[in-house]
Amino acid sequence: EDKVVQSPLSLVVHEGDTVTLNCSYEVTNFRSLLWYKQEKKAPTFLFMLTSSGIEKKSGRLSSILDKKELFSILNITATQTGDSAVYLCAVRGGSQGNLIFGKGTKLSVKP
Amino acid sequence: DVKVTQSSRYLVKRTGEKVFLECVQDMDHENMFWYRQDPGLGLRLIYFSYDVKMKEKGDIPEGYSVSREKKERFSLILESASTNQTSMYLCASSLFWLPTGRYTGELFFGEGSRLTVL
């Protein structure tokens, strides 16, 4: 069965800390891995990764994919309270090519 | 700007009622999806559609049906709502993948419809 596992499930840090969120997967017909940020409403797209070892970066956020070890990490440096959210990892693959979501990591950044 | 609109943000219904959740996208996307999101379970795919009048079952289709009469609109129907269908429902859309490479893996989500069934 295809699955995506995120860890930790929740995390509390203080402003200025650096955090690393993990996403491992076992998905047939892998096509891409995506990260989303969800605050109170709709998930918003962060990154899409298709190739191993190529870091994607946007401001204080960065992500990298390892297709050999079947995982990805999302790094957030110098965290701010506005980074508090649930971060979702999703892998496109499986028999239908749809996105398979992990359960998310809830990040709380304290002032 | 990309826009996926769900008509109802909050609904309260009684057991046995028929419930319609409407979703409209203005991006001319071929693909549309309905997910439900529950604490500890993440997002689970209910149904999706690759084209008008076309529908495919996702991971948890039981108790739900869908309708896609127009490209921009995808409706989720609960024929007889039950308390275990209390949840946040998220609609999403995406472009279709073509061999020419016109493809994005990105889903665009609506704001969600929080349904409570009493």
Digit-coded pLDDT (tens) for A12-58: 999 999 999 999 999 998 888 999 999 988 899 999 998 899 899 99
Q: Which has more confidence, A50 or B97?
A: A50
pLDDT surpasses 70 at A73: yes
Q: Determine phi and psi for B63, rounding to 5 degrees.
A: 90, 0
Q: Let me know the angle formed at the C-alpha of A103 by A30 and B16, rounded to the nearest 5 degrees.
A: 110
Mutate to test the interface with B, among A37, A95, A99, A105 (most CBs of B within 10 A): A99
Banded model confidence at residue B74, pLDDT cuts 50, 70, 90: very high
CB environment A50-60: b (16+ within 10 A), e (fewer): eeeeeebeeee
Confidence of residue B104 (pLDDT cuts 50, 70, 90): low
**Which residues of A fall within a CB distance of 8 Å from B58?**
98
pLDDT over threshold 90, residue A4: yes
Average pLDDT over residues B52-61: 92
Determine which of A39-48, A60-69, A80-89 has the lowest per-residue pLDDT on average: A39-48
B41 chain-A contacts, CB cut-off 8 A: 103
As given in the structure block, the two tokens for residue A110 are: 């304290």
- Report in angstroms the alpha-carbon separations of A97 from A33, A93, B97: 12, 4, 10
Given CB atoms, is A73 within the 8 Å cutoff of chain B?
Answer: no
Whether the Cβ atoms of residue A101 and residue A7 lie closer than 8 Å to each other: no
pLDDT of A97 reads: 76
